[in-house]
Structure 1
Amino acid sequence: MGKILVSIARILVGLLFIISGLIKLNDPVGFSFKLEEYFSPGVLNLDFLTPYALVIAIVIVVFETLLGVMLLLGFKPKFTTWSLLLMIFFFTFLTFYSAYYNKVTDCGCFGDAIKLTPWQSFSKDIVLLFFILILFFGRKHISTVKFAKSGTFIALALCIIYVYYVYNHLPVIDFRPYKIGANIMKGMQIPENAPKSIYEYAWKFKVNGEEKVITTNGDYPTVDGEFIDVKTTEIQKGYEPPIHDFTMEIDGEDHTEEIMDLNHVLVVVSRVINEADEKGLQAIKKVAEKAKEKGYRVIGLSASNSEQIAPVKEKYGLDFDFYFCDLTTVKTIVRSNPALLELQKGTITQKLHYNDADEFVFSKDVVKQPEINTALKKQLDSIYRLDQGIREIYYAKSKAKKDSIAKEVGIEVQEEVNDYMDKIWPVIDSTNMVAVDKIIDQYGYPGKSLVGEPTDKVAWYVIQHSPKIEEYLPMLRKEAEKGELPKRLMALMEDRYLMQQGKMQIYGTQGSYINTAEGRMPIIWPIKDPENVNTRRKEAGLDTTATVEEYGKNLFGDDFEYEVLTLEEMKKMEE
């Protein structure tokens, strides 16, 4: 019976150590990042080991894999079982420490292939400890195969060759959410029915001179006492999308959606640019220059700040902008520093280590993309914040909300909020229009190819809030035809202009209120050829409110019923 139990433990432990070791062997750089997390001052406070994390990671994963092989082959059973026992004691301590003190949320036992919580990892190690103890005390039953010695050395040689290859290239199997074929934007989405986090709230009150704690799931308890404090505990973790904390920022402005909407984007990734391999930067520079010539949009992505990036850009002649992203995220995206990514509408189509930079495959159907004017984009984004901010302040329901928005936008409210808004609103709209006039005089309409999305809509917003719609209408029509401005916005502008002229609108995008004998009444402004309005709306890209009937309810509430009116009928109702 003892021999059978040892045989079962031998197979289970051996296979588990080999699988765990090979997964980490496939990505030794990733495992070294996990060790750095353990070595940090906030966990084990062994920061002096951080510079050696990669070497330690390689030694551990090779040894772990080798122990599994040695156990199955029965090579040096005494050494093997002692090593297994010491290793599992160490791992059990580490996982318990992580779980109890909530220091490291993922132990990294199986790399990115299988994510385990600290308590799950600890439980796994307890089970392993049980089987390893069986092996330790029953090692006399571990038989040795004939080729145990040669098999062990072959396994060692293969491990060294494999780890050398993946370190100098990239993991053979990519278990991360940024693997080739993954779409970044889809990876950030949360399904509608995804489970949400559940929290427990411990409310502390002083009741009749004594402290009393009442626990709820969020509701403020009805207690006749003085509130002291509340402590929040997450008792059930909600759904977390595979990709999170991913941003592409310049000067605090998030350009993620803009970049994710482009085809043929070459991204030069460097987690910490000061630590990037020099030969790697030189190799990648050649690819970036060729990509620009062929019409690719070339950008950088790094966790380094502009002061760290500037001298490196100058030294290596890197003629493209670097966008900021969180260090942990950049480390997860790709293990090489630097590296290359190709994005097609947010989908990763190529990912290369700097040693393989010359293997980058250029698409043949690239249409040369104009460079985004980042300075102009920043100016227009500031204009947009004022244009929309003043309106958000005015329509906010509470004064606290109004003050909060005003602070965020940078408008100092000095009087009764709405009275002050009535005074400053026309001033802001007028000032914005002057700025947009100058921009259009210098650049033409600042559309998608000049400032990217969604900034291409800013000038449109300012014009529609001005008395200059008629002046700019022909230009806006041409820009919409060229794709520089969404067609749906052009439909809104056409309707607004027609309504201002007292004419029938085309797409049914404009609502109004009229004064009737029964009181103030909401209407959809009269529409030309109302029978076919929904077809025109669809053709104009007004898909968010597919029909004029639905649009009316969005404007005025669920009780609103759309009524077809002519201009004459509307005027009679007003009488």
Structure 2
Amino acid sequence: MLNTSYYTPLQKTSNKPDILLWISRVFVGLLFIFSGLIKANDPMGFGYKLQEYFHVFNLTFLNDYSAWIAIVICALEIILGILLLLGIARKSVAWGLLLLIIFFTFLTFYSAFFNVVTSCGCFGDAIPLTPWQSFIKDLILLVFIGIIFVKRNKITPIFKSSFANNVLTLFTFIFAFGAGIYTYKYLPILDFLPYKVGNNLPSLMKVPEGAPQDEFEHIYNLKNKQTGETKKVTDKEYMSQKIWEDENWEIVGEPLTKLIRKGYQVAIPDLMITDNEGQDFTQEIVENPHYNFVVTSVDVTKFSPTDFLALDKINQTIKSLSEEYNIRAVLLTASASSDVDYLNDQLDLVLETFYADAVPLKSMVRSNPGVMLLQNGIVIEKWSKDTFPSKEELINTYLK
């Protein structure tokens, strides 16, 4: 008879879910999907943000590819987020998340510490974050991704069928890249910029009456003539304590001015439209009571052959319209006048040429070239170079 005292029952494997792992997966997965989608909504805008980083790290040769690099980064975030939630390719996803968050954390810390990029663009223009806010957000994500990485072997796919997982992975890749490519071609689905359709531009260019102003604090360096004692006081303390009446105290050097409360921020603070001689036409163009086609191009020298053909189509359509309807059409650019003259010689532009800074131009239409239709200062519609309608569509929709 066997002596069973030497044997212990086999312990049953626990099927209880790892709550901490699940919380981390859901939090990181949803945040990565949201972050990727919100930037994929405007890949050209995210590309402009990448150009700021390229400038900081002397990688400006990548500027011409910034929009496509933005599409890839957005797609990578979406793919990692979805596959993490589905439990597919756990090791690759865990490594991808870890490497990506380390890279992002380095960038946001560098931006915050050296104050080189004022907004990281983590959530596009929808949720602007300061560099330090972005860095703290990445530190929190790093903790949760660290948990996922350590426990990656515990992740199991939601669906047991390898065929189903392969199909889901394929559709995830198609969706992730397709989202960015679609909005790059057809403009953002959600426009978070001040030049979005329906906005009244003149009202966004001025401070409303009674709006709060910036509040500043002045700090004085004081020195006692008798004792040599020094101290710092604010302008309010200087007046309330009547230090100015005491002849023993003198102000040393220039006072330090510090912003303590931000006032009303004008949505469009930097739009100035001029002709070749520098004469201001901003109000005349923006507040035109008639239909006003504003063709925008940050840099006409960046036109590809297809861009050139797109501008020619836009120009010919507007030229034909102007023969029958009372409309105005302008080309608004930050290019050199010599480059515009060359373009005009090639295409015989019907568009009047005006100039503006590149910063507001980038916010008007996320396309080069792009078209904005204005009337009485209101943005009626916007089109990319690929979606500008035909003459008949414009007449039936707007001019008829």
What corresponds to 1:357 in structure 2? 388
Q: C-alpha separation between the residues in 2 aligned to 1:204 and 1:84? A: 50
Higher relative contact order (CA 8 A, sep 6+): 2
Question: Residues 48-73 of structure 1, C-alpha deviation per residue, up to 9 Å, x if partnerless?
Answer: 43333223212111111100011011
Structure 2 unaligned spans of 5+: 1-15
2:139 to 115, 123, 126: 126
Question: Residues 125-174 of structure 1, C-alpha deviation per residue, up to 9 Å, x if partnerless?
Answer: 12211211121112233221223332111110122333332222212222
Question: Does 2:274 correspond to 1:261?
Answer: no
What corresponds to 1:68 in structure 2? 81
Question: Residues 249-275 of structure 1, C-alpha deviation per residue, up to 9 Å, x if partnerless?
Answer: 223222222223322111111111221
What are the residue-to-residue correspondences of 1:203-214 with 2, within 5 Å? 203-204=220-221, 208=225, 213-214=232-233
Q: C-alpha separation between the residues in 2 aligned to 1:95 and 1:270? A: 30
Question: Does 2:313 correspond to 1:288?
Answer: no
Question: Residues 306-349 of structure 1, C-alpha deviation per residue, up to 9 Å, x if partnerless?
Answer: 23322212221113322222211101111111111110101111
What corresponds to 1:8 in structure 2? 23
Question: Does 2:115 correspond to 1:102?
Answer: yes
Q: C-alpha separation between the residues in 2 aligned to 1:124 and 1:59? A: 22
Q: C-alpha separation between the residues in 2 aligned to 1:227 and 1:359? A: 69
What corresponds to 1:415 in structure 2? none
Question: Does 2:96 correspond to 1:59?
Answer: no
Q: C-alpha separation between the residues in 1 aligned to 2:235 and 2:61? A: 45
Q: C-alpha separation between the residues in 1 aligned to 2:295 and 2:378? A: 15
Question: Residues 379-417 of structure 1, C-alpha deviation per residue, up to 9 Å, x if partnerless?
Answer: xxxxxxxxxxxxxxxxxxxxxxxxxxxxxxxxxxxxxxx
Q: C-alpha separation between the residues in 2 aligned to 1:235 and 1:214? A: 15
The answer to whether the Cα contact below 8 Å between 1:282 and 1:316 also exists between their aligned partners in 2 is yes
Question: Does 2:47 correspond to 1:32?
Answer: yes
What are the residue-to-residue correspondences of 1:124-273 with 2, within 5 Å? 124-146=137-159, 147-204=164-221, 208=225, 213-216=232-235, 222=244, 224-225=249-250, 227-250=252-275, 251-262=277-288, 263-273=290-300
Greater alpha carbon shift after TM alignment, 217-226 vs 7-16: 217-226
The answer to whether the Cα contact below 8 Å between 1:24 and 1:61 also exists between their aligned partners in 2 is yes
Q: C-alpha separation between the residues in 1 aligned to 2:103 and 2:232? A: 40
Q: C-alpha separation between the residues in 1 aligned to 2:264 and 2:103? A: 32
1:212: how far off? 5.8
Question: Residues 447-504 of structure 1, C-alpha deviation per residue, up to 9 Å, x if partnerless?
Answer: xxxxxxxxxxxxxxxxxxxxxxxxxxxxxxxxxxxxxxxxxxxxxxxxxxxxxxxxxx
Structure with higher Rg: it is: 1
Q: C-alpha separation between the residues in 2 aligned to 1:64 and 1:215? A: 47
| Secondary structure, aligned partner of 1:267 | strand
Question: 1:283/1:206 Cα in 2 relative to 1: closer, same or farther (>3 Å)?
Answer: farther
Q: C-alpha separation between the residues in 2 aligned to 1:205 and 1:355? A: 64
Structure 1 unaligned spans of 5+: 368-575
Q: C-alpha separation between the residues in 2 aligned to 1:74 and 1:25? A: 23
1:196: how far off? 2.7
The answer to whether the Cα contact below 8 Å between 1:287 and 1:357 also exists between their aligned partners in 2 is no
TM-score of the two chains, using structure 2 as the length reference: 0.83
The answer to whether the Cα contact below 8 Å between 2:33 and 2:77 also exists between their aligned partners in 1 is yes
Q: CA RMSD in A?
A: 2.6
Q: C-alpha separation between the residues in 1 aligned to 2:89 and 2:260? A: 47
Q: C-alpha separation between the residues in 1 aligned to 2:178 and 2:287? A: 40
Q: C-alpha separation between the residues in 2 aligned to 1:191 and 1:337? A: 33
1:213: how far off? 4.7
| Secondary structure, aligned partner of 2:197 | coil
Q: C-alpha separation between the residues in 2 aligned to 1:114 and 1:218? A: 38
What corresponds to 1:524 in structure 2? none
Question: 1:219/1:350 Cα in 2 relative to 1: closer, same or farther (>3 Å)?
Answer: farther
1:15: how far off? 0.9
What corresponds to 1:311 in structure 2? 342
Question: Letter of the aligned partner of 1:290 in structure 2?
Answer: S
- Provide the identity percentage: 40
The answer to whether the Cα contact below 8 Å between 1:295 and 1:366 also exists between their aligned partners in 2 is no
1:211: how far off? 7.1
The answer to whether the Cα contact below 8 Å between 2:317 and 2:390 also exists between their aligned partners in 1 is no
Alignment: residue pair count: 365
Q: C-alpha separation between the residues in 2 aligned to 1:333 and 1:357? A: 15
The answer to whether the Cα contact below 8 Å between 2:80 and 2:93 also exists between their aligned partners in 1 is yes
TM-score of the two chains, using structure 1 as the length reference: 0.59
Question: Letter of the aligned partner of 1:239 in structure 2?
Answer: Y
Question: Residues 511-559 of structure 1, C-alpha deviation per residue, up to 9 Å, x if partnerless?
Answer: xxxxxxxxxxxxxxxxxxxxxxxxxxxxxxxxxxxxxxxxxxxxxxxxx
Question: 1:233/1:38 Cα in 2 relative to 1: closer, same or farther (>3 Å)?
Answer: farther
Q: C-alpha separation between the residues in 1 aligned to 2:74 and 2:39? A: 6
The answer to whether the Cα contact below 8 Å between 2:76 and 2:176 also exists between their aligned partners in 1 is no
What are the residue-to-residue correspondences of 1:394-433 with 2, within 5 Å? none
Question: Residues 410-442 of structure 1, C-alpha deviation per residue, up to 9 Å, x if partnerless?
Answer: xxxxxxxxxxxxxxxxxxxxxxxxxxxxxxxxx
1:201: how far off? 3.2
Q: C-alpha separation between the residues in 2 aligned to 1:126 and 1:165? A: 32
Q: C-alpha separation between the residues in 2 aligned to 1:218 and 1:359? A: 67
| Secondary structure, aligned partner of 2:389 | helix
Question: Letter of the aligned partner of 2:41 in structure 1?
Answer: N
| Secondary structure, aligned partner of 1:17 | helix
Q: C-alpha separation between the residues in 1 aligned to 2:58 and 2:221? A: 35
1:35: how far off? 0.2
Question: Letter of the aligned partner of 1:32 in structure 2?
Answer: G
Q: C-alpha separation between the residues in 1 aligned to 2:357 and 2:95? A: 42
What corresponds to 1:322 in structure 2? 353
Question: Letter of the aligned partner of 1:136 in structure 2?
Answer: F
1:300 to 318, 322, 331: 331
1:215: how far off? 3.9
Q: C-alpha separation between the residues in 1 aligned to 2:261 and 2:379? A: 33
1:207: how far off? 6.0
What corresponds to 1:335 in structure 2? 366
Question: 1:253/1:205 Cα in 2 relative to 1: closer, same or farther (>3 Å)?
Answer: farther
The answer to whether the Cα contact below 8 Å between 1:296 and 1:366 also exists between their aligned partners in 2 is no
Q: C-alpha separation between the residues in 1 aligned to 2:320 and 2:237? A: 57
Question: Letter of the aligned partner of 1:74 in structure 2?
Answer: G
Q: C-alpha separation between the residues in 2 aligned to 1:52 and 1:210? A: 60
Q: C-alpha separation between the residues in 2 aligned to 1:206 and 1:283? A: 72
